[in-house]
Amino acid sequence: MSTSPADPHLPAVHLRPPRNWINDPNGLVFHDGYYHVFFQYNPHGPQHANMHWGHYRSPDLITWEPLPVALAPTPGGYDADGCFSGNAISTGDRMVAFYSAHRNDRWWQPVTTAESHDNGHTWTKRPDLLIPEPPAGTTMYRDPYVWRQNERWRMLVGSALDDGRAAALLYESEDLEHWTYRGPFHTSDTTADAGPIGWECPQYATFGNRNALILSDWTPQGGPSHTTVVTGREKDEGGFEATTAPVPLDHGPDFYAPALLKAPGEDRWLMWGWAWEARDDAWAHETGWAGVLTLPREVTLNADGTVAQRPARELLALRGPRVLHGTGYATQTEPAELGQIGHTFDLTAALVPDPTGTSGLRLITSADGSEHLDISLDPTAGHLVVDRTHASTDARARGGVYTAPCPAAARPNTPVELRVIVDRSIAEVYLADEQVLTLRFYPSTDGPWRLQARTTGAGRGEFAVAAWNLIPEDLPREAQLAGRGTQGA
């Protein structure tokens, strides 16, 4: 079993332990000078089972220190079959983690807590469940999200209702111990013939009197599906009134269950998501690991109510010397060779699309050019297009073509700005610091990579590109995640 950093697909700067399974980021909190990121973690293998809370912390979002596992299932206890998703808050000298207590013998996941008084090194679970029963009329119940607003504590819990709607349920508290159920905060459309059966991992970001509600769509047939965001305002009675239609938070196929953190001392929201594997389970089992967290993103709200995302500003510190820089144009018969690039890099580009075809960048990952990832602009459709059809010759890797809206691509002679961060087997493609498309890909060779500018049209695609290899040497390569959290009750 390959579990060493020599695995060519194991990300170098994205956060994850070097082996075993991870999924949802949990418990994002800033406490006593450190950002804390927890995540769903199976310390025993690369499959979804034995859910613990893994734990990293960082003073700067760049250098991450592994801490012992924070939460582990208690045999015979209320979380005997898993410490599932939730979040954490900092209050005084303690951190409080809110999480879903999973047992196979009940369909709902009650809300419970654990506390740490030593900066996250050890955790003590409460003896009894915090919210043991779901409200009447629910058919799914999990994933608490707690935040402080207007001198009170508030909590959303992901849910599904027995009338077919998905819901985020609202609770409120004065002291974190006694919670009053206020009813559904927001629900899906009752007239929709298709859509989510339930919402997982609700997250809520406030921007003055405008707010964004992030919801991960789940169905009993397919499980996790995708993540949407709606923006709007709160009603006087405490519910949420959407002023925009639900739209994808990320346009890629491999993004789910993001978690939010309000950065300390500034009006800035940070977000991490889970990027799942896009390859056969057997392949992940052979390599001994599955799942990765995205890089931290800054989330803002535009004047028109759309949500914008960009890489956290701190990530510029990961850039090494610039390895690639070029301006010019490409034609159908003459692609522009931009040079070699590392397997972990940060790239910026301004592209003026060829109005007669699709044009953009090709990341070539094999010596003969047969393996490549295409990132291009389609001026006819007004789309950013990311095509991984030829990104791996291994049949166990998923292919597909994915798009994000890009109206600027349809405007003649208008440059479109991109930022692309690639880390071995994950690509995060940012369009004009707003839309994002995240996907996984698995080159079958470990040789040099190179970049081209190309067009399929009869005209030319213009480009200005710069790229930096990212420097991961200050990041942990072997996480000390073998320690187990305090078992508690």
Q: What is the pLDDT of residues 133-150, one digit of tens each?
A: 999 999 999 999 999 999
pTM: 0.95
- β-sheet with 289-290: strand ranges across: 65-66, 52-58, 34-42, 20-31, 289-290
Cβ 325 vs Cβ 466: under 8 Å? yes
The domain boundary, picked from 281, 312, 343, lies at: 312
- Report pLDDT for 199: 97
Residue 330 placed within a domain: yes
Tokens of 365: 């990952």
Instruction: Classify residue 480: in a domain, yes or no.
Output: no
Which tokens is 46 given? 């690369």
* Beta carbons of 443 and 278 less than 8 angstroms apart: no
- What is the per-residue pLDDT for 6? 78
Q: Nearest to residue 123, comparing CAs of 111, 131, 113?
A: 113
Q: Which domain covers residue 439, as residue numbers?
A: 315-470
Q: CATH number for the domain including 383?
A: 2.60.120.560
Same domain assignment for residues 64 and 110: yes
First to last CA, the chain: 36
Are 267 and 382 contained in the same domain?
no
Residues 332 and 243 in one domain: no
Contact by Cβ (8 Å): 23, 16:
no
Q: SS in 3 state form for the chain? A: CCCCCCCCCCCCCCCCCCCEEEEEEEEEEEECCEEEEEEEEECCCCCCCCCEEEEEEECCCCCCEECCCCECCCCCCCCCCCEEEEEEEEECCEEEEEEEECCCCCCCCCEEEEEECCCCCCCEECCCCCECCCCCCEEEEEEEEEEEECCEEEEEEEEEECCCCEEEEEEEECCCCCEEEEEEEEECCCCCCCCCCEEEEEEEEEECCEEEEEEEEEECCCEEEEEEEEEEEECCCCCEEECCCCEECCCCCCCEEEEEEECCCCCCEEEEEEECCCECHHHHHHHCEECEECCCEEEEECCCCCEEEEECHHHHHHEEEEEEEEEEEEECCCCEEEEEECCEEEEEEEEECCCCCCEEEEEECCCCCCCEEEEEEECCCCEEEEECCCCCCCCCECCCEEEEECHHHHCCCCCEEEEEEEECCEEEEEECCCEEEEEECCCCCCCCEEEEEEECCCCEEEEEEEEEEECCCCCCCCCCCCCCCCCCC
Would you say residue 148 lies in a domain? yes
Is residue 179 assigned to a domain?
A: yes
Q: Of the residues 278, 312, 346, which one is the last residue of a structural domain?
A: 312
270 and 415 together in one domain: no
- The reply to whether 145 falls in a domain is yes
Residue 322: how many CB atoms within 10 A of its CB? 11
pLDDT confidence of residue 480: 33
Q: Are residues 428 and 328 part of one domain?
A: yes
Q: How far does CA 368 lie from the centroid of its chain? A: 33
- Each residue's pLDDT, cut to its tens digit, for the chain (489 residues) gives 334 447 999 999 999 999 999 999 999 999 999 999 999 999 999 999 999 999 999 999 999 999 999 999 999 999 999 999 999 999 999 999 999 999 999 999 999 999 999 999 999 999 999 999 999 999 999 999 999 999 999 999 999 999 999 999 999 999 999 999 999 999 998 655 565 689 999 999 999 999 999 999 999 889 999 999 999 999 988 899 999 999 999 999 999 999 999 999 888 999 999 999 999 999 999 999 999 999 999 999 999 999 999 999 999 999 999 999 999 999 999 999 999 999 999 999 999 999 999 999 999 999 999 999 999 999 999 999 999 999 999 999 999 999 999 999 999 999 999 999 999 999 999 999 799 999 999 999 889 999 999 999 999 999 999 999 998 644 443 433 333 333 333
Is residue 345 located within the same domain as residue 302? no
Looking at the structure, tell me whether residues 169 and 258 fall in a common domain. Answer: yes
CATH number of the domain within which 127 lies: 2.115.10.20
pLDDT at position 74 is: 98
213 within domain boundaries: yes
pLDDT of residue 266: 81
Residues 392 and 356 in one domain: yes
CA distances from 54 to 157, 170, 259 (A): 22, 27, 15
Task: Mention every residue, 6+ apart, whose C-beta is less than 8 A from residue 28.
Answer: 35, 36, 37, 38, 87, 88, 259, 260, 261, 270, 272
Q: How many distinct structural domains can be found in the chain?
A: 2
Domain co-membership, 155 together with 270: yes
Spell 192-209 as b/e; 16+ CB within 10 A means b. eeebbbbbbbbbbbbeee
CA-CA-CA-CA dihedral for 333, 336, 337, 338, to nearest 10: -170
With a CB cutoff of 8 Å and minimum separation 6, the contacts of 228 are 214, 215, 217, 246, 247, 248, 249
Q: Which two structure tokens, joined as six digits, stand for 229?
A: 């965001």
Same domain, yes or no: 355 and 301: no
Domain assignment present for 485: no
CA 245 to chain CA centroid, nearest Å: 21
Query: What pLDDT, on the 0 to 100 scale, is given for residue 4?
Result: 43
10 within a domain of the structure (yes/no): no
Sequence-separated contacts (24+) of 187-190 with Cβ below 8 Å: 187/161, 189/165, 190/163, 190/164, 190/165
What amino acid is encoded at 104 in this protein? N
Q: What is the sign of the dihedral through the CA atoms of 392, 396, 397 and 399?
A: positive
Strand pairing partners for 148? Answer: 153
Same structural domain for residues 407 and 367? yes
Is 148 in the same domain as 205? yes
